[in-house]
Amino acid sequence: MSVLIVGSTALDSIKTPHRENPRLLGGSASHAAVAASFFSPVKLVGVVGDDFPKKYLSLYRRHKIDLEGLQQLEGKTFHWSGEYEVNMNNRRTLLTELGVFETFTPALPKAYQASEFVLLANIAPALQHHVLNQMRRPKFVVADTMDLWLNIALNDLLKLLKRLDGFVLNDSEAHQLTKEDNVFAAIKKIHKMGPKYVIVKKGSHGSILSGPRGFFVCPAYPLSKVVDPTGAGDSFVGGMMGCLATARGPIENHLRRAMVYGSVTASFCCEGFGLNRTTKIKRSQIDQRVKELEKLTDF
């Protein structure tokens, strides 16, 4: 099975205390699509401008990402610029130029509408709704989000939650959404908002799945150096969905392992700027780290 991924496709200029990296390939859909591509075919829905470098189209194609749903419009590609502090934990946005993204309306090619696995990567909830409205009968729909949408599009997001199988967010967003400091108490409240599966990302502390079979505590791969965490959360959920799309039988049987594969894919993402490291690895390196994680968590 292939995965349909909709989200932002952007150029990221990332500054750290050590260097500047202008106009890297970025955006939630780019990170998620490349991560998913290690496991299954990917159909990408997004928008870029006429300044979008050809080398990035080639990069998508090298990862066998179907680009029929990638709109190329006159104008500028969404450009985000951010700066990390020394500890790589605090990030501040220097610049956001929406460009063609400002008026983006995701239109699904006919061949995409019957997709069974759908990842609504981080993008405005209204656009996530718009994608679902065009789908036939997806088997498993997961959405990611960010604090911005909790602040400016909460109603759209709450309506979306009722249409999802799985909802992914990070721990601070879970607190913001539920006013619960305890992550397990927050998860309980989020289930009541709709999704059967809730996944809370905790960065270097791993992630937590909650579903009908209870909790799963998913570890993060230990990294002694993080070069650039941008896109790690997108890589996690992209890898997870790619992995799920290849599995047979009930989703529930595969979700934990899919999360571990997503977690490991995200670890590679953190080891380079933008997609620099992720695009250089092979599937066998992911499998290797999953094996290591098995050993690292065995007791």
Binding site for its own copies (CB under 8 A): 86-89, 181-185, 188, 202, 204-206, 208, 214-220, 222-226, 256-257, 259-260, 294-299
- Distances in whole angstroms, Cα of residue 249 to Cα of each of 38, 171, 236, 245, 290: 20, 30, 22, 11, 22
Nearer CB in complex with its own copies: 164/208: 208
Task: Give the separation between CA 276 and CA 5, rounded to whole angstroms.
Answer: 20
Q: How far is the CB of 271 from its own copies (least distance, A)?
A: 12
Q: How far is the CB of 236 from its own copies (least distance, A)?
A: 14
Q: How far is the CB of 93 from its own copies (least distance, A)?
A: 21
Nearer CB in complex with its own copies: 121/208: 208
Q: How far is the CB of 182 from its own copies (least distance, A)?
A: 6
Nearer CB in complex with its own copies: 20/85: 85
The residue type of 212 is: P
Q: How far is the CB of 270 from its own copies (least distance, A)?
A: 11
Nearer CB in complex with its own copies: 75/219: 219
Nearer CB in complex with its own copies: 86/155: 86
Element (H, E) at 270: helix 255-270
Q: What is the dihedral of CA 184, 189, 192, 193, to 10 degrees?
A: -120
Scanning the structure block, which residue is given the tokens 């610049």? 95
Alpha helix segments (H runs only) across 121-205: 125-133, 147-152, 154-161, 171-178, 183-192
Task: Give the separation between CA 204 and CA 89, rounded to whole angstroms.
Answer: 10
User: HSE of 130 in the Cβ direction (CA atoms, 13 Å)?
Assistant: 14
Angle at 278 between CA 15 and CA 274, to 5 degrees: 15
Q: How far is the CB of 297 from its own copies (least distance, A)?
A: 5
Note whether 164 and 118 are within 8 A (CB). no
CA neighbor of 94 nearest in space, from 104, 103, 81: 81
Nearer CB in complex with its own copies: 62/213: 213
Nearer CB in complex with its own copies: 163/189: 189
Note whether 203 and 246 are within 8 A (CB). no
Q: How far is the CB of 91 from its own copies (least distance, A)?
A: 14
Bridge partners (DSSP) of residue 97 are: 79
